[in-house]
Structure 1
Amino acid sequence: MSLIAKLEARAASNRPIRVGLIGAGKFGSMYLSQVRTTPGVHLLGIADLSPQRARDSLQRVGWCASAYAATDWRDALDTGSTFVTDDASALIACGAIDVVIEATGHPAAGVRHALLCCEHRKHVVMVNVEADVLAGPLLARRAQEAGVVYSLASGDQPALIAELVDWARTCGFEIVCAGKGTRYLPAYRQSTPDTVWRHYGFTDEQVQSGDFNAQMFNSFVDGTKSALEMAAVANACALTPATDGLAFPACGADDLPALLKPVDAGGVLERSGTVEVVSSLERDGRPVFRDLRWGVYVVIEAMSRYVRECFAQYGLRTDASGRFAAMYKPYHLIGLELGTSVASVALRGEATGSTGGFRADAVATSKRALRAGERLDGEGGYTVYGKLMPATDSLAIGALPIGVAHGMELVRDIAAGTVVRWQDVRYDAKRQDVCVRREMEAMFAVREKSFKKLTNKET
């Protein structure tokens, strides 16, 4: 039975999926605009540090005030309405909720809320890619142990890429490369919240609409969000990033299979089975023809002459050899598509992309020369950006993940363009997100040592 048929059946039997949303920012607001027209789903409650901001979001996307006038979850349950609170922990703990959507964008909050979901046996849809990359492999394990589903968020690019990878592998294809498009130039690395709107192209009217946070949007411009999202894809799809991270080659939809293949096959990739983000801008700033700025893609390889012939017969765009082809989706609708994850998790017990191993990391890298005593300001800020790195390399050098690089004080000078390490900062080792991250690092470091020992013995 299709998801919509299952939802309609739940609506007909008055057994809706009961959902709690944490975070009423841009992604959360987009989901709010759709959930009220989705059958079989009841948004029981919304938690936001500013309840008024949540109410403003509800009003902005078209809810009438009576629809979110419930005083608590029991009142919401009785009246079929929604309650708004600033207490995310209480929202997670309330007995009626089936699925929690974590959409704060704050990595420490995401870790805390995911662990609470495991404690209270709630499925969790992790919109918060920052938290997923910081500790997702460990969080997914905890969720499995608790008997709940930990899922990436449909509509966001990592989940849509994971869907394409799943399709390709289910069809028997080898994955050459998977990724997304974005607007990127090398100079964007030094972008700050003061310069972001010039680079992004939004009008003053759009910025003033209430949905836009300069530091958050700057993380898209300076490459941090791309690093985070590709780390999430690599960890969910068992792919390995290039040694030096993302190259952001300028590439349109038609050129994907010609460019995104291994160097030894005439492409630009260090290896097959990797991730990459393509830019919608040529290096001189000209727009790329048929760019994929808003889209996602997967490049696959034909392993036989017969399959290459089929590619040609059915009009797939391939490289000159006919061996490599691409499938892509030109757009993603972010929170407007999130209902797919909620329905899949609640009705099928299936994640729409789920973190597996620790294959990739996003690490704090200096935007400029930094001095001892300065405090890092994290994702999208003035001091560091997030760089994609193979997890084995991150563990080897003790790299500081971008997800915790906020408020930490440097204990030594850092040259521009340098990966910051744990030993370079002063931090609170008892902080929950730090503890969870360090536990995950220790767990995978032991695995890596065991694997190397086994490999050496076999050799």
Structure 2
Amino acid sequence: MSLHRQLQQRAAEGRPVRVGLIGAGKFGSMYLAQVPRTPGVHLAGIADLSPDGARANLARVGWPAERSAARSLDDALAQGTTHVGDDWQALVRHPAIDVVVECTGHPIAAVDHCLEAFAHGKHVVNVTVEADAFCGPLLARKAAEAGVVYSMAFGDQPAMICDLVDWARTCGFPVVAAGRGHKWLPHFCDSTPETVWGHYGLTPEQAARGGLNPKMFNSFLDGSKPAIESTAVANATGLAVPAEGLRYPPGSIADIPYLTRPRAEGGVLDKKGMVEVISSLRPDGTPIDYDIRMGVWVTVEAETDYIKHCFEEYNAHTDDTGRYFSLYKRWHLIGLEVGMSVASVALRREATGVATGWHADVVATAKRDLKPGDLLDGEGGYTVWGKLQPATRSVHMGGLPLGLAHDVKVIRPVARGTCLTWADVAIDTHTPAYRIRREMETALSPAD
């Protein structure tokens, strides 16, 4: 039975999937816009550091005020309405909640939320992929030990890439490469919140008018977010990562099967079976027509002449050998699609992407020469960007994961372009996020 039919059945039986949302910002608001239109789902509670801001976002997406007026979570459950507050612990501990959607975008807090949810028997859809990037393999293990499902969020590109990879493998195709698109030029890795709008083609006034967060947007532009998302994909699918980080080959959708094949065959890959990101800009900065900037793709190989001939007969767009074919989705709808994950984990107990091993990592890398006393400001900021690395290399160097490079003091000089290590910083060792990362380094052996 389809997920939608199952949700309709749950609605008819008066047994909706009961959801708790932590974080009602932009991503969370997009999910909130869809909840009233989804049968068999009851968003019982929202926890946000600013309940008034959450209510304002509810109004923005079209919720009537009475729908979120419940004075307590128990009232909301009894009335079929939604409680809005700031107590995330009460939300994840309530016995009636089935699924927690972690949507804060704060990786250290997200780890706390996930672990507490597991401890109280809740499935988790983790939108905060930054947390998954530095400790997802161990979060997945802890969820399994607790008997619950931990999942990446459909609508975000990593889960959608995982879906394409699963499609390919289920159909019997070997996956040659998979990934997403991005607007990229090499100097973007030095971008800061002060320079981001020029690269995006917006004025600071336009950005302010739209309420756009320059640090968040810069985390995409400077390569941190593509590295984070590629790490999540590699750890979920077992695909390898480039030895020297993402290459961002420029190309249109038509170019993907040419670019995403081994170098020995004219492509950019070290070998078959890797993650990569395709740039929508030529090296001179001009845009490429029919780009994959906002989408995802997978490249597969025809292993026999018969399959190759089938590609030809059905006009599949391949490379010039006819062996490599790329399937793609040109767009993703972010939080508007999270309902797929909520339904999947609640009804089928299946994740829409989850780490199955430790293959990749994102290491904080200096944007400028850093000196003792400098304070790291995390992804998208002024001090570091995230570089995709094989997990074995990261562990060997003692690399500082980007997700933990927030409000951390530098204690020795680090040259621009250098990956930071644990020894370069003074870090709070008492947070659950730090402890689970170090536990992962001990408990899980990175896979080549």
Give the TM-score taking structure 1 as reference length. Answer: 0.95
Q: Deviations over 1:326-362 (max 9, x none)?
A: 0000000000000010011111111111111110001
- SS of alignment partner, residue 297 of structure 1: strand
Q: Matched residues in 2 for 1:190 and 1:333: separation? A: 28
Q: Secondary structure at the match of 1:55?
A: helix
TM-aligned CA deviation for residue 444 of structure 1 = 2.4
Question: Residue in 2 aligned with 1:35?
Answer: 35
Instruction: Write the distance in 1 (CA, Å) between the matches of 2:266 and 2:39.
Output: 50
For each residue in 1:297-341, what CA deviation from the matched residue of structure 2 results, as whole angstroms up to 9, or x when unmatched?
Answer: 001111111111011111111111111110000000000000010
SS state at 1:298 partner: strand
User: Which letter does structure 2 place at the counterpart of 1:208?
Assistant: R
After superposition, the C-alpha distances for 1:133-187 in whole angstroms (9 at most, x for unaligned) are: 1111001000001110001100000000000000000011111110000111112
Deviations 1:22-47 (A, max 9, x none): 11111101000001111110100111
Query: Which residue matches 2:10?
Result: 10
Structure 1 position 206, deviation (Å): 5.9
Matched residues in 2 for 1:10 and 1:257: separation? 43
- 1:269 is matched with 269
1:232 CA displacement: 0.2
Mapped to 2, the partners of 1:79 and 1:55 lie a distance apart of 18
Q: 2 CA distance for matches of 1:380 and 1:205?
A: 19
Query: What residue in structure 1 maps to residue 64 of structure 2?
Result: 64
Greater mean alpha carbon deviation, residues 70-79 or residues 197-206: 197-206
> CA contact under 8 A between 2:155 and 2:338: conserved in structure 1?
yes
Match of 2:138, as an amino acid? L
Uncovered stretches (5+) of structure 1, i.e. residues with no partner: 452-459
The equivalent residue for 1:423 is 423
Distance 1:207 1:16 in 2: 40
Q: Name the counterpart of 1:250.
A: 250
What are the residue-to-residue correspondences of 1:311-390 with 2, within 5 Å? Answer: 311-390=311-390
Could you give the per-residue CA deviations for residues 68-94 of structure 1, whole angstroms, max 9, x where no partner exists? 001111010111110111111111011
The residue that corresponds to 1:208 in the other structure is: 209
Q: Does 1:187 align with 2:187?
A: yes
Amino acid at match of 2:60: R
Letter of the 1:410 partner, please give it.
V
Q: Secondary structure at the match of 1:168?
A: helix
For residue 231 of structure 1, report the CA deviation from its aligned partner.
0.1
Match of 1:153 in 2: 153
Matched, 1:88 2:97: no
CA distance in 1, matches of 2:63, 2:190: 40
Identity of aligned residues (%): 56
Distance in 1 (CA, whole Å) between partners of 2:281 and 2:126 is: 30
Which runs of 4 or more aligned residues in structure 1 lie more than 6 Å from their structure 2 counterparts after TM superposition? none
User: 1:238-258 deviations in whole A, cap 9, x for unaligned?
Assistant: 011010110111111101111
CA deviations 1:397-452 (Å, max 9, x no partner) are 0000000001111111111100000011111222221111011011224x77xx9x
SS in 2 for 1:352: coil
Q: CA deviation at 1:370?
A: 0.8
The amino acid that maps onto 2:388 is L
2:404 equivalent in structure 1? 404
- CA deviation string 1:192-220 (max 9, x = no partner): 1112222223574564344x322111100
- Rounded to whole Å, the distance in 2 between the matches of 1:205 and 1:49 is 27
Partner of 1:457: none
Equivalence for 2:101: 101
CA-CA distance at 1:289 after TM superposition: 2.0
- Which amino acid counterpart does residue 406 of structure 1 have in structure 2? H
8 A Cα contact 2:197 2:207, kept in partner: no
CA distance in 2, matches of 1:90, 1:221: 37
In the alignment, the residues of structure 2 paired with residue 207 and residue 81 of structure 1 have an alpha-carbon distance, to the nearest angstrom, of 34
- Work out the CA distance in 2 between the residues paired with 1:430 and 1:126: 23
Q: CA deviation at 1:259?
A: 1.1
Does the residue aligned with 1:416 lie in a helix, a strand or coil?
Answer: coil
Mark the runs of 5 or more structure 2 residues left unpaired by the alignment: none
1:117 aligns with 2:120: no
Distance 1:207 1:122 in 2: 38
CA contact (8 A) 2:59 2:65 kept: yes
Paired residue type of 1:434: Y
SS at match of 1:36: helix
Structure 2 vs 1, CA of residues 341 and 202 (structure 1 numbering), >3 Å: closer, same or farther? Answer: farther
The superposition leaves residues 60-118 of structure 1 with CA deviations (integer Å, 9 ceiling, x where unpaired) of 11111111001111010111110111111111011111000001111111111110011
**TM-score under structure 2 normalisation?**
0.98
